[in-house]
Amino acid sequence: MARTEIKIGGFGGQGVILSGYIIGRAAAIYDAKHATMIQAFGPEARGSACSAQIVVSAEPIAYPYITKPQVMIVMSQEAYAKFSPELAEGGVLITEEELVKPLNLRKDLKHFSIPATRFAEELGRRMVLNIVMMGFLTAVTGIVGVEAMRQAVKVSVPKGTEHLNLNAFNKGFEYGEKLKSGA
């Protein structure tokens, strides 16, 4: 596997940083790969723009910064507007279907969308929308193995919420699998 650069964007409170942490943990601890993560916040924590930049590679990573992410996950319209121009040619764009309306979507991109917030609400906690997105990412990209991601979710979320978060992951993964198979 070549070096894969991933950028996640949204606003504070959506679990953007935790999502990056989960991807990195899944890759480096449970999938025998290398990973780095860099995070950025706006001036306030909750409600302002934030992003996580993750590099996943089979080889050691000498340069931890991303230059042209091949995969981008955006969970807010502001993140889409700010970050989508950075996406590499032929890249994969994953959006939260009900919060992001991709305007002027480039023809070279592979675009996948999921109503992650609605799924999270159906599970009883809007807060798990990021975990739904992690399941979806796993299904549509295969960057990190599904069992590695499940294990990383399980050990990264607050004690007592593991079952809810694993259900959220599975919901996103199943939706992605159906989307990929055309069902």
We report the CATH number of the domain holding residue 63 as 3.40.920.10
CA distance 164 to 131: 10
- Of the listed ranges 11-15, 97-101, 143-147, the least confidently predicted one is 11-15
Domain count, the chain: 1
pLDDT on residue 47: 61
Edge to edge, the sheet with strand 92-96 lists: 34-41, 49-57, 4-11, 71-74, 92-96, 110-114
pLDDT on residue 180: 87
When pLDDT is cut at 50, 70 and 90, the band that residue 138 belongs to is: very high
Where are the extended beta strands (E) located within the chain? 4-11, 34-41, 49-57, 71-74, 92-96, 110-114
When pLDDT is cut at 50, 70 and 90, the band that residue 11 belongs to is: confident
CA distance 112 to 173: 13
| pLDDT tens, position by position, 156-171 | 999 999 999 999 999 9
Range of the domain at 57: 4-181
When pLDDT is cut at 50, 70 and 90, the band that residue 60 belongs to is: very high
Phi, psi angle pair for 24, to nearest 5°? -60, -45
Mean pLDDT of the chain: 93
Burial 5-30 (b: 16+ CB within 10 A, else e): bbbbbbbbebbbbbbbbbbbbbbbeb
